[in-house]
Amino acid sequence: MQFKALEYLEAIYKYKNFTKAAEALFVSQPAISAAIRKLEDEFNVKLIIRTPKKVLFTPEGEAFIAKISPVLEEFRSIETDMHSKNPNKKRTLRLGLSPTAPPDIVHRIYQIFLPSLAENEEVFFDEGGAYYHIVKIANGEVDAAINVIPENISDFPVAAIPLFQQEICLLIHEDSELAQYDKIPIQMLNSTPITSLGASSYLPKRLEMEAAKRNIHLKVASKHLHQTSYIEEILLGGSSGIINVDNNNIPRALYAHKSLVTRPFQEPMYLDMGILYRKDCHLQPLTQRILDFIQESAKLSLQGQYSTHPTLKQ
């Protein structure tokens, strides 16, 4: 009986759907199906019944899930606790950063948090979009992340601490005809070629939702998995992009691209930015410390007591 198979069964019970469970755990549906069949074969007991509309649990399956759920949580807690008790064990914090994470908070991490680490403590930074980090957190590959909080965050085994909002802006070359506008009428997206980040980012999904509300048909010229090629296409001037901006400060992703400018929309659109971490999981001390540190840094940022970043080019 494999631990992963039990986690898969737990997810299926939550979503009552193999596809949704696979998406939440970021594994393939065939992998989940195979693991559950193997689990049923091991005990020679039918745990679930597949129907066209949803998955039903047999009485044996219901009893089994009731017993394994607290065991799974206790196992995760024990594993984390035992690792934290070893004084000689190397403690690594895997921290996810959005390319648009607030520069002042990121700079405080570099300048204050990192120098405070003990000799056996280290931080590994992993940059990416919101859904990318949700995947990593759900799979135990990232401990916490500073990123956008998707509206459907409750669909995932990830908790969120909102810190503040960022405005959705159009990202364009300074020579673009759109640069003459102080604020962009969102209806212009009907005729503006857009380059988009891929499925790892929540921003394209949010833009699609906002456009649909206004009967706007987006002209998506291309989709990019990585930010480098995404920005490169915008630099060439053929397309516009979308980016979330914090209080008129240059997003970290644009530090080296002085010819790119941002423009807000006439109808403001906002995203919640905050901390993402594993739901219902005992946090290791180093993870709890960074959560406390980020929240304190956010308070200082909102109060205007800490700022080391340049001003956004308008």
- Per the prediction, the chain carries an average pLDDT of 86
- As a whole number, mean pLDDT of residues 10-23 equals 88
Residue 100 confidence (pLDDT) above 50:
yes
Q: What integer pLDDT is reported at residue 53 of this predicted model? A: 79
Residue 40 confidence (pLDDT) above 90:
yes
> Is residue 120 located within the same domain as residue 236?
no
> Is residue 170 located within the same domain as residue 258?
yes
For residue 51, being part of any structural domain is answered with yes
> Is residue 143 located within the same domain as residue 282?
yes
- As a whole number, mean pLDDT of residues 144-162 equals 93
Q: What integer pLDDT is reported at residue 308 of this predicted model? A: 45
User: Smallest Cα–Cα separation from 295: which of 166, 162, 110?
Assistant: 162
> Is residue 276 located within the same domain as residue 264?
no
For residue 103, being part of any structural domain is answered with yes
Q: What integer pLDDT is reported at residue 305 of this predicted model? A: 54
Q: What are phi and psi of 28, to 5 degrees?
A: -75, 150
Q: Nearest 10 degrees: CA dihedral of 201, 205, 207, 213?
A: -170
Q: What integer pLDDT is reported at residue 311 of this predicted model? A: 40
Query: Percentage of the chain with pLDDT > 90?
Result: 40
- As a whole number, mean pLDDT of residues 94-108 equals 91
Query: How far apart (Å, rounded) are the C-alpha atoms in residues 96 and 76?
Result: 21
- Higher-pLDDT residue of 244 and 30 is 30
Q: What integer pLDDT is reported at residue 207 of this predicted model? A: 87
- 3-state helix/strand/coil string of the chain: CCHHHHHHHHHHHHHCCHHHHHHHHCCCHHHHHHHHHHHHHHHCCCCEEECCCCEEECHHHHHHHHHHHHHHHHHHHHHHHHHHHCCCCCEEEEEEECCCCCHHHHHHHHHHHHHHCCCCEEEEEEECCHHHHHHHHHCCCCCEEEEECCCCHHHCCEEEEEEEEEEEEEEEECCCHHHHCCCECHHHHHCCEEEEECCCCCHHHHHHHHHHHCCCCCEEEEEECCHHHHHHHHHCCCCEEEEEEECCECCHHHCCCCCEEEEEECCCCEEEEEEEEECCCCCCHHHHHHHHHHHHHHHHHHCCCCCCCCECCC
Q: What integer pLDDT is reported at residue 6 of this predicted model? A: 92
Return the structure tokens found at 104: 């002042």
For residue 309, being part of any structural domain is answered with no
> Is residue 134 located within the same domain as residue 144?
yes
CB 266 within 8 A of CB 184: yes
CB 55 within 8 A of CB 22: no
- As a whole number, mean pLDDT of residues 12-24 equals 86
Q: Which of 246-250, 274-278, 305-309 bottoms out in mean pLDDT, i.e. has the lowest?
A: 305-309
For residue 313, being part of any structural domain is answered with no
Query: How far apart (Å, rounded) are the C-alpha atoms in residues 115 and 266?
Result: 43
Q: What integer pLDDT is reported at residue 21 of this predicted model? A: 87
Task: Note the pLDDT tens digit of each residue in 201-251.
Answer: 888 888 888 888 889 988 888 888 778 888 888 888 778 988 887 765 566
For residue 156, being part of any structural domain is answered with yes
Chain centroid to Cα 175, Å, comes to 32
- Higher-pLDDT residue of 45 and 314 is 45
- As a whole number, mean pLDDT of residues 54-60 equals 92
For the chain, what is the domain count? Answer: 3
> Is residue 237 located within the same domain as residue 200?
yes
> Is residue 116 located within the same domain as residue 183?
no
pTM of this structure:
0.70
Domain containing 253 — which CATH number? 3.40.190.290
- As a whole number, mean pLDDT of residues 156-160 equals 92
Please name every residue paired with 10 in a beta bridge, in sequence order, or none if there are none: none
Query: How far apart (Å, rounded) are the C-alpha atoms in residues 309 and 102?
Result: 9
- The residue out of 85, 104, 119 marking a domain boundary is 85
- The residue out of 62, 85, 108 marking a domain boundary is 85
Residue 274 confidence (pLDDT) above 70:
yes
- Please compute Rg for the chain using Cα positions: 22
Residue 183 confidence (pLDDT) above 90:
yes
For residue 310, being part of any structural domain is answered with no
Chain centroid to Cα 312, Å, comes to 24
For residue 285, being part of any structural domain is answered with yes
For residue 314, being part of any structural domain is answered with no
Domain containing 103 — which CATH number? 3.40.190.10
Return the structure tokens found at 21: 């469970």
Residue 64 confidence (pLDDT) above 60:
yes
> Is residue 104 located within the same domain as residue 195?
no
Query: Percentage of the chain with pLDDT > 70?
Result: 92
Query: How far apart (Å, rounded) are the C-alpha atoms in residues 59 and 50?
Result: 14
> Is residue 282 located within the same domain as residue 153?
yes
Q: What integer pLDDT is reported at residue 196 of this predicted model? A: 86
- The residue out of 22, 53, 85 marking a domain boundary is 85
Q: Which of 68-82, 159-173, 291-305 bottoms out in mean pLDDT, i.e. has the lowest?
A: 68-82
> Is residue 153 located within the same domain as residue 296?
yes
Q: Which of 70-79, 97-106, 137-146 bottoms out in mean pLDDT, i.e. has the lowest?
A: 70-79
Query: How far apart (Å, rounded) are the C-alpha atoms in residues 158 and 275?
Result: 10
Domain containing 73 — which CATH number? 1.10.10.10
Query: How far apart (Å, rounded) are the C-alpha atoms in residues 157 and 139?
Result: 10
Task: Note the pLDDT tens digit of each residue in 278-302.
Answer: 987 778 889 999 999 999 999 988 7
Burial class (CB in 10 A: 0-12, 13-18, 19+), 268: exposed
Domain containing residue 73: 3-85
pLDDT level of residue 313 (50, 70, 90 thresholds)? very low
> Is residue 148 located within the same domain as residue 284?
yes
> Is residue 73 located within the same domain as residue 116?
no
Q: What integer pLDDT is reported at residue 255 of this predicted model? A: 72
